[in-house]
Chain A
Amino acid sequence: MSGAAAEEVRKFLRDTGTVFSREFMPVLRGPVVLVFTMGQPLLFLFLFGSMLEGVRGGASWQWFVPGILVMMCLTGPMMAGYSLLVELMGGSLERMLVTPLNRVAMLVGRTLKEFVILLFQAGLIIVLAVPLGFRPSVHGVLVGLGLLVVFGVGLGALSFALAIASRPGGDLFWGVTQMVLFPIVLLSGLLLPVESGPSWLRVAAAANPVRYIAEAERALFAGRVADMSVVYGLLCAGAVAVVGLAIGTRAMRRGV
């Protein structure tokens, strides 16, 4: 590697750090916000999960907690796009685009922050679910969280690209996230098993990448690391990450 290229990499890492610490500072300043953003998954965990336990018996936590984590992984990165949209509509993103900050670092730094929060929240959910009867496999959880991170990075990048495409009004962003998020959640078997639905629904669910990720997470949390569903899940998460980062960095490079 030549000196100039090494310098380029150093600058990229530095800029990523700068963007990450800027994004993360408000979290450190007011960590209470973290708890509020967890309100929905916690509600699902305690209210929906407990109902499910009544219907399906004790093993339901094993099935339900990975689903909740995947759901958080869907909503968290969406919010990352929202934060970018707010900065796009205000002047703060423009301000940063006139600085020598690397464009791709601006995207990666933001995504990294979502990651850290996602990992923290996932950890909290797992810890809270243990007293309820959730018995995860430790190495399975570690691989499972890694899988979520890959998936979350891709989704975050897609959401940034969507935010950039939604300028100046932002309506497109809301329209797409609302129209896409719910069908994806419902057709992924995150909350209720898809197997009990009619055949057309099972076909639709088979085309939903989130379904494979949910299945992979369930296998991993149960300790079945070598399960085929894990391979499918990793492929889906990897594909989302590659496509997301490609589209996201392209949108960012093209200029905002």
Chain B
Amino acid sequence: MIHARGLARRFKVKRRGVVEAVRGVDLDVEQGQLVAFLGPNGAGKSTCLRMLTTLLRPTSGTAVVAGRDVVRDPAGVRGRIGYVGQKNGAGEGFRVRDELVSQGRAYGMSRAAARARADEVLGLLELEPMAARTPGTLSGGQRRRLDIALGLVHRPELLFLDEPSTGLDPQSRADIWGHILRLRERHGTTIFLTTHYLEEADSMAERVVIIDQGRIIADGTAEALKGELAGDRVTVGVEDGLGGRAAEIAERVAGPSEVVVDGGVVRLRVPWAASMLPEYLRALEAAGVKVRSAETARPTLDDVFLALTGRTLRESEEVAGP
């Protein structure tokens, strides 16, 4: 569905010279996948998305999206993909159903077909009661559902969503996700979305692609990324003064990627805590170190980002600013 090679985009910015927003992205997405594109603000997420959806010409590199080249045949790409941007897609002052009909017409449907399809997507996203209203009178969640409805009018095989759930209350977020997942289940739509809610990417997407400073720095299932790049956190409390001894035993038994001793507390990072912890506790007991507490935590994608870049996603957000 998506095959990008060396995709790059430079921007000329006043005073700051040239900004390399995206520096050589290679990406392959197969049909039916649900991919979450993750990264701090300014990492190049939206720029990538805008190049893949023909809104922006790449400075260099190629991308074939839904079988068409984004530079040589942008119209071909546009006819085959759906796009839900960061901002609301329905125009102010236009009725909900009218906008859906116009959208269908824009994709070349006949007037009758566009009307029938508008009613269909209204039903699909549970927007029927809002058909004759204008976007300004809808709630945030309803507006976002309308955006998705607009992106689905022409039954695209591939749907891009830029921050589909940002700024919504938890209930509306869950609702939007319900619709996205159903879409994929029923129609096998390939979905490529950006988000900065790590938990969402973690629980919903089967594949997570992380971008930072214009480059893809990680790509895989959330579980694999966490196992390979971050690992579980293990915190063991022992008697005061025996922390150093406990750390030595950990090095021998568990082969941790990280060991921190803090008084009577030892913090470890290991690939798989569930199998390592019992063995470690037995070894401590055998060495006469009394264990007071033991705790394990699964890593988050934020830990993955930290392991990769040395800073957390949230810190990067603050530095980059909105």
C-beta contact mask, B36-79 vs A, less than 8 Å → 1, else 0?
00000000000000000111110000000000000000010011
Q: Chain B residues with Cβ under 8 A from A94's Cβ?
A: 55, 85, 87, 89
Q: Chain A residues with Cβ under 8 A from B33's Cβ?
A: none
CB–CB A22/B98 < 8 A? yes
Q: How far, in Å, is B42 (CB) from chain A's closest CB? A: 16
CB–CB A22/B102 < 8 A? yes
Interface size class of B (residues with CB under 8 A): 20 to 34
CB–CB B92/A95 < 8 A? no
Interface status of B103 (Cβ within 8 A of chain A): yes
Q: Chain B residues with Cβ under 8 A from A255's Cβ?
A: 55-57
- CA gap between A26 and B92 in the complex, in Å: 10
Interface status of A57 (Cβ within 8 A of chain B): no
Q: Chain B residues with Cβ under 8 A from A95's Cβ?
A: 83, 85, 89-90, 103, 147, 150
Q: Chain A residues with Cβ under 8 A from B55's Cβ?
A: 94, 97-98, 255
- CA gap between A25 and B106 in the complex, in Å: 15
Q: Chain A residues with Cβ under 8 A from B90's Cβ?
A: 92, 95
Q: Chain A residues with Cβ under 8 A from B85's Cβ?
A: 91, 94-95, 98
Interface status of B197 (Cβ within 8 A of chain A): no
Q: Chain B residues with Cβ under 8 A from A91's Cβ?
A: 85-89, 147
Q: Chain A residues with Cβ under 8 A from B95's Cβ?
A: 25-26, 29
Q: Chain A residues with Cβ under 8 A from B57's Cβ?
A: 255
The closest CB in chain A to the CB of B108 belongs to: A100
- CA gap between A97 and B77 in the complex, in Å: 12
Q: Chain B residues with Cβ under 8 A from A14's Cβ?
A: 108
CB–CB B91/A18 < 8 A? no
- CA gap between A211 and B308 in the complex, in Å: 67
Interface status of B215 (Cβ within 8 A of chain A): no
CB–CB A15/B106 < 8 A? yes
Within 8 A of B (CB), among A95-112: 95-101
The closest CB in chain B to the CB of A105 belongs to: B106
Q: Chain B residues with Cβ under 8 A from A101's Cβ?
A: 106
- CA gap between A90 and B89 in the complex, in Å: 7
- CA gap between A94 and B150 in the complex, in Å: 12
C-beta contact mask, A100-140 vs B, less than 8 Å → 1, else 0?
11000000000000000000000000000000000000000
Given A90-B87, A95-B83, A95-B89, also A100-B78 (CB < 8 A) = yes
Known interface pairs A25-B102, A92-B91, A98-B85; 7 further A-B residue pairs with C-beta atoms within 8 A, sorted by A's residue number: A15-B106, A22-B102, A29-B95, A90-B88, A91-B85, A95-B89, A99-B103
Instruction: Write the residues of chain A forming the contact surface with B, with a CB cutoff of 8 angstroms.
Output: 14-15, 18, 21-22, 25-26, 29, 86-87, 90-92, 94-101, 255
Q: Can you list 25 contacts pairing A with B, beta carbon distance less than 8 Å?
A: A14-B108, A18-B102, A18-B106, A22-B98, A26-B93, A26-B94, A86-B92, A87-B91, A90-B87, A91-B88, A91-B147, A92-B88, A92-B90, A92-B92, A94-B55, A94-B89, A95-B103, A95-B147, A96-B106, A98-B54, A98-B83, A100-B75, A100-B78, A100-B79, A255-B56
Instruction: Write the residues of chain B forming the contact surface with A, with a CB cutoff of 8 angstroms.
Output: 53-57, 75, 78-79, 81, 83, 85-95, 98-99, 102-103, 105-108, 147, 150
